[in-house]
Structure 1
């Protein structure tokens, strides 16, 4: 119990020294109020940490955070997987390859044939030549 108290007091002392150094290093008065606000919030959290541990609230907060962080990561992974599946199946691309329906090239489109592509096996495709801006 005394070791935990000593560790808590030590972390508070480190934080106070760090915040004092930070407030002296920041140039200009405009940012100092933001630094003081942020360090004040962190100080409140540091002061409440032992109280939350005694009441068992620390585990509840960490479980809530881990649950929401896990749900967000899972959602991002599922979206990325769905996007990659769309690309792999060709559903994400228009049937004409993204070109306009007219057969004549527009002013930005050069009147040249696209280079032929060869399949070399597996998932690799080699292209003979790429011309940009002609």
Structure 2
């Protein structure tokens, strides 16, 4: 299959941990996505904590939304997570299991702000024209 996506996020436990397949080579779920032509893959190397993983992903998504390259977005997400937490959550097993493979370029997200503005203008013009046409018919 050819997924041809910009970024695949595999947040399940050990999705990036390779295993040996007889007659093959070391392979993981992340490798499978790589073969399916995903531009980059965010994956985990070990059993990750669900709560910390979701916090880091939220920070990562926000950094991506702000236009950062994927590698910097993940790195900054981990730094912010460490700064916001304390105690056992600072142990690397909680925050360092997610890695990025592949293309690190930023993701160009479409802005719906401009779409809203253009739609509002078109609707306003349509309403004004409808009112003028109705007045003219009277």
| TM tier, smaller | under 0.3
TM-score, scaled to structure 2: 0.26
Bigger share in strand: 2
Q: Which has the larger radius of gyration?
A: 1
Higher relative contact order (CA 8 A, sep 6+): 2
